[in-house]
Amino acid sequence: MIIRPRRLRKTQKIRDLVRETDLKVNDLIMPIFIDETLNNDEKKPISSMPNQYRFGIDAAVKECEEIADLGVPAVILFGIPKEKDEIASSGYDDNGGVQEVIRKVKEKLNDDLIIIADVCMCEYTIHGHCGIISKDGEVLNDETLPILAKIALSYAKAGVDIVAPSDMMDGRVYEIRKVLEENNYKNVSIMSYSAKYASAFYGPFRDAADSTPQFGDRKAYQMDIANSREALREIELDIEEGADLLLVKPALPYLDIIRLARDNYNIPVGGYCVSGEYSMIEAAAEKGWLDRKKTVFETLLSIKRAGAEFIITYWAKEVAEWLSKN
């Protein structure tokens, strides 16, 4: 035998030398749930997501500081409002929980932590859909756009670095870009959830963010789980509309889409390792069926290997702790 690939697997040093992909703390973004119904310094466990919490305003600020101290470069904020209505008005309230946390964290940490804010209506609407609803229950595209733009503008005013529209309405990146430019927030970036699938893996999040649709599902706006060419079309449109970064979501069941995005476009691509991906591994580990730490590393590394530059993951904080001890 002349060729023996095993020679390069002989020792840890040689394996490290030829390793193609790395998971670094710089790759990670930590999601934070801000719950306006909690006391300022309260944090409340999320039952469907072990070791994850909803935070009151000050507790969220403290959490952001801890995350920054660990070297995690970014957080993505989600809001759970005191009051919901048909038009998500708490979402664009300049004194809302997310806005408050953005202001406070920026004041303390300035550029030491990138703040991303998820832009969507579903956490703020009574019906739990990501847009305005017509009389017959249709999620109206064009009527939703100005509201998304208002939410994004309100986050920009508070000092956000990046807005991340996750609603999947057509034309929303352009509407948001336009409003940001008109109001002189030229340097606020848009991270578009370009390829967001109508996935069953969001189940635990909807518990966490209290955003389960009260009727129907999201299939008329989120993408069909069977499609990949459609993802390329969505990405192309978002780039034309002014997206700076893009996301594929969920990550693990859609690694092929991450690879397609990476190979076909030149803007940074991220994978969102969603709540269901998190909780299924947590549950199996709790039962002793999987080695938790190894499975988490393998999962996140696979997302990098597929071509993602960055990963939104509920393990970000813990992985940063693990990496710092290595």
d(CA 58, CA 323): 27
Using CB under 6 A as the binding criterion, the count of chain residues that bind ligand PBG stands at: 11
The token pair that represents 305 in the structure block: 């290997």
Asked whether position 279 contacts ligand PBG by CB under 6 A, the answer is no
Q: How far is the CB of 119 from ligand PBG (least distance, A)?
A: 9
Exactly one of 62, 178, 206, 292 binds ligand PBG (CB under 6 A); that residue is 206
Residue 120 interacting with ligand PBG (CB under 6 A) = yes
Q: Is 197 one of the binding residues for ligand PBG (CB under 6 A)? A: no
Residues 63-92 contacting ligand PBG, CB under 6 A: none
CB of 176 to ligand PBG, least distance (A): 15
Which of these is catalytic: 84, 106, 150, 249? 249
Single residue of 122, 149, 258, 320 touching ligand PBG by CB under 6 A: 122
Residue 285, exposed/middle/buried by CB under 10 A (0-12, 13-18, 19+)?
middle
Is 304 a residue of the active site?
Answer: no
Q: Does 205 bind ligand PBG (CB under 6 A)?
A: yes
* Footprint on residues 207-236 left by ligand PBG (CB under 6 A): 211
Residues 273, 314 contacting (CB under 8 angstroms): yes
DSSP per residue over 173-199, as a string? HHHHHHHHHHTT-TT-EEEEEEEEB--
CA within 13 Å, CB half, 306: 27
Q: Closest-CB residue for ligand PBG?
A: 205
196 is catalytic: yes
Which residue lies nearer to ligand PBG by CB, 93 or 118? 118
Does residue 147 belong to the site contacting ligand PBG (CB under 6 A)?
Answer: no
Shortest spacing between CB 118 and ligand PBG, in angstroms = 5
109 vs 220, which CB is nearer to ligand PBG?
Answer: 220
**Which residues are registered as beta bridge partners of 245?**
191
CB of 206 to ligand PBG, least distance (A): 6
Q: Supply the DSSP string of 81-137, one letter for each residue.
A: -S--BSS-GGGG-TTSHHHHHHHHHHHHHGGGSEEEEEE-STTTBSS--SSEE-TTS
Structural contact between residues 145 and 172, judged by C-beta atoms closer than 8 angstroms: yes
263-267-269 Cα angle (round to 5): 70
Nearest to residue 61, comparing CAs of 91, 93, 95, 99? 99
Which residues does the annotation mark as catalytic?
Answer: 196, 249
Contact footprint for ligand PBG (CB under 6 A):
118, 120, 122, 130, 166, 202, 205-206, 211, 274-275
